[in-house]
Amino acid sequence: MEDLMYSRRKQVFSIFALLVDYSGITVEGRFWREKGVRRVRLFFQLVLCTAIGLLLFYRSSVYAQKQGLFQQWFEWDWCLELIYMYMALHAFMCFITIVTWTRSNYIGKFLDILTCSKKTLQETTVKSLARPSQPFLFALSIFFVLAGVVTTAETLVFDGLVSPFDNSTMALYRTSVFKTNCLVALDILLFLYSLLLSATCVAIFCLMNQAALLEYRLLQKDLEKAIEGGTHLDPELILSLNLRQLRLSNVFRFVADHAGALVGISFLTGLVNFLFGTFVLTAFHDSRRWFEMAIFVLWVIVGHLLMLVPISKLEAVQREISKTRDLLVTEESIWSCNDEAVLREVNAFVERIDRSRFPFKVLGLITADERIFALAMLSCSVIMYVFFYFRKIQSL
């Protein structure tokens, strides 16, 4: 009986987590330790992002074509509901990240490391990040998902309630069921809340990289002092440096593994927030179409800048790793030593540094992670959508 209840609970949790874990923030627990479930989750994310992105493009372009060579407005209300659902899931993902990191006192530990460089990062500090989410977070995710599903479905049922020539976005925005504009204020708050959480994610990531960078520099300085001072590099000294580098490798591996997720957070932030802000701000602007184009150009610039934040920070750590490796490889006094124990530890040191290397090309990040690939496909769909919007402007 208990096995049956456990099996049902596992199935329910897996289905629900597929909806909740949209942006790839891993929920560590016994239900997520199976590799098969993780592959299904990544495949579901890829299909979901691609389907919604292509559906948004197809629905908008076909509607405009039926209206006669883009002579009418797009179905702004339907597109807005999809954007709202994406933004709600993104805000929930950021909320889980911040709450989890705060509960594990991760920020405080990194602030201590930054103020005192002699401290080292322990593996338990990294593992403390992976904690199961709390029940109230699950309840909050249900609200976000249901809100997105309901508001999207109602726009498919109630069609043509607003004149296509109406220049007021507020009149067009989520009023077909609720018949009120009070939800606009709530969505603006959610928009600002998502921006704040995204900035906090980037800030914490920068703190993590800075802490690892300081530790690598301290490790390199200790090694240089030992070599320049003529100190005999006995196995105990190399072993102590090796163990410190092992702890740093665990931290850097954590940073590198989450770099793809952070790029996804940054890219989705630029896509959703600026595109959503376009429709909110144009409600108070007369020249609607040109103002939207200006906001979209800003999204392109800021979105790419946000993508470069984690990559540039990882490059700084990588440069310190390369310096440490070059120092070990080029030092003749180390390799001329006849002590096999020292050579064995140095070889293990170099091999571990080589395993810490990480590709920093944007294309490599996109293709290495299914989440990033799905977000890239979604962004391509939105860009194609904006291209048709340009065509519509030219035909007016």
What whole-number distance in Å separates Cα of residue 368 and Cα of residue 357?
15
CA torsion sign for 30, 258, 323, 123 is negative
What tens digit of pLDDT does each residue of 1-12 get?
434 443 433 333
What tens digit of pLDDT does each residue of 216-238 get?
677 677 777 776 766 555 556 66
What tens digit of pLDDT does each residue of 13-23 get?
333 333 333 33
DSSP string, 11-57: HHHHHHHHHH-TT-----SGGG--HHHHHHHHHHHHHHHHHHHHHHH
What tens digit of pLDDT does each residue of 241-277 get?
666 555 555 555 555 555 545 544 444 544 554 454 4
Confidence of residue 344 (pLDDT cuts 50, 70, 90): confident
Task: State the pLDDT at residue 261.
Answer: 52
Q: What is the mean pLDDT of residues 48-63?
A: 52
Q: pTM above 0.85? A: no
Under a CB-based contact definition with an 8 Å cutoff, are residues 222 and 242 in contact?
A: no
What tens digit of pLDDT does each residue of 169-211 get?
333 334 433 444 444 455 455 555 555 555 555 555 565 566 6
% the chain with pLDDT above 90: 0
| Sequence-ordered list of residues with C-beta below 8 angstroms from that of 88, at least 6 positions apart, any chain | 144, 145, 147, 148, 190
| Domains of the chain by residue range | 2-395
% the chain with pLDDT above 70: 7
The torsion defined by the Cα of 41, 45, 48 and 51, in degrees rounded to 10, comes to -120
What whole-number distance in Å separates Cα of residue 334 and Cα of residue 227?
9
Higher pLDDT, residue 239 or 140 = 239
Q: Where are the alpha helices (DSSP H) in the chain?
A: 2-20, 35-66, 76-103, 106-115, 123-127, 135-157, 169-172, 182-228, 235-281, 288-330, 332-335, 340-355, 362-368, 370-395
Q: Measuring CA to CA, which residue among 259, 249, 181, 177 is closest to residue 219?
A: 249
Token digits of residue 11: 């199935």
Token digits of residue 43: 């495949």
Q: Position 317: which residue type?
A: V
What tens digit of pLDDT does each residue of 119-154 get?
444 444 433 333 333 344 444 444 444 444 444 444
Token digits of residue 45: 């994310």
Higher pLDDT, residue 300 or 367 = 300
